[in-house]
């Protein structure tokens, strides 16, 4: 039996799989916008992580991003590219899922 955790945000309470690495807004996107069983391919997700990592390093070096934020983004991108395959939710087709996840962890 799969276990869940309850999380709260501005829209209220939502159940999220216990092992999920995302929060309530991404879970709502999964619940409401899953229009295809197809997932984004792992090589595509890994490539996006590498792009985020390179952008964080470049923007930190240029002084456009503070060191702490740059390091956090770089480390997260490295972890995604390295060991977190299969942990992403939702279809690759809905238009706004990426935005949902972007605002959860600010």
> Which pLDDT tens digit goes with each residue over 45-100?
889 999 999 999 999 999 999 999 999 999 999 888 887 766 665 555 544 444 44
- The pLDDT score that the predictor gives to residue 70 is 95
pLDDT of residue 41: 81
Contact residues for 71 (Cβ-Cβ < 8 A; gap 6+) = 56, 60
Task: Report the alpha-carbon distance of residue 104 to residue 23 in Å, rounded.
Answer: 7
What tens digit of pLDDT does each residue of 1-29 get? Answer: 889 999 999 999 999 999 888 889 888 88
* Class of residue 77 by CB neighbours under 10 A (exposed 0-12, middle 13-18, buried 19+): buried
Report whether 5 contacts 18 (CB < 8 A): yes
In this predicted structure, what is the pLDDT of residue 91? Answer: 54
Q: CA–CA separation, 46 vs 52, rounded Å?
A: 10
């Amino acid at each position: 039996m799969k276990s869940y955790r309850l999380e709260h945000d501005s829209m209220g309470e939502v159940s999220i799989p216990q092992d999920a690495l995302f929060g309530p807004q991404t879970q709502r996107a999964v619940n409401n916008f899953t229009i295809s069983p197809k997932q984004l391919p792992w090589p595509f997700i890994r490539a996006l992580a590498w792009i985020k990592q390179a952008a964080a390093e470049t923007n930190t070096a240029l002084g456009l991003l503070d060191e702490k934020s740059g390091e956090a983004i770089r480390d997260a991108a490295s972890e995604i590219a390295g060991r977190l395959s299969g942990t992403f939710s939702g279809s690759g087709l809905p238009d706004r899922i990426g935005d949902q996840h972007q605002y959860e962890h600010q």
